[in-house]
Amino acid sequence: MNRIPLRISVTEFGRKANSIIDGASSSRQPVFILQRGRVSAVLVSLEAYDEAQREREILYLLAKGEKEIRVGEGHELSAVLGEADDLQK
């Protein structure tokens, strides 16, 4: 993601929606949509969104696990590794 992000006005987005969506899908780069000169929305491909959701879930589980460790709750390593394998499927 070393590119300069695409920023486009909501008016231009309305005129070129199909090509902008196609570009976002093929490049997997976000498109920042401006309304009155400010970013008001971000368009991402479905693949990029799904990947971000999976990463968010993994981070949530890691944070939950750290909290459980702090309060003395624990799980067998085999059970944790099994859950991790299930997430990758």
Write the CATH number for 25.
3.40.1620.10
Query: C-alpha distances in angstroms, 4 versus 12, 37, 48, 84?
Result: 18, 17, 17, 35
83 shares a domain with 55? yes
- The distance in angstroms from the start CA to the end CA of the chain is 26
Q: Tell me the C-alpha distance between 71 and 51, whole Å.
A: 31
Rg (CA), the chain: 19
87 band by pLDDT with thresholds 50, 70 and 90:
confident
Tokens of 24: 């976002």
77 shares a domain with 60? yes
81 shares a domain with 52? yes
**Which pLDDT value is given to residue 38?**
95
Asked if the structure places residue 1 within a domain, the reply is: no
Asked if the structure places residue 75 within a domain, the reply is: yes
**Which pLDDT value is given to residue 80?**
79
56 shares a domain with 39? no
Query: With contact defined as beta carbons under 8 Å apart, do 24 and 31 qualify?
Result: yes
Asked if the structure places residue 71 within a domain, the reply is: yes
Mean pLDDT of 12-36: 94
pTM: 0.66
Reply yes or no on whether the pLDDT at 16 is more than 90.
yes
Q: Which domain holds residue 20?
A: 6-44
Asked if the structure places residue 52 within a domain, the reply is: yes
Q: Tell me the C-alpha distance between 30 and 61, whole Å.
A: 26
Per-residue model confidence as pLDDT tens digits over 53-78 = 999 999 998 898 888 888 888 777 78
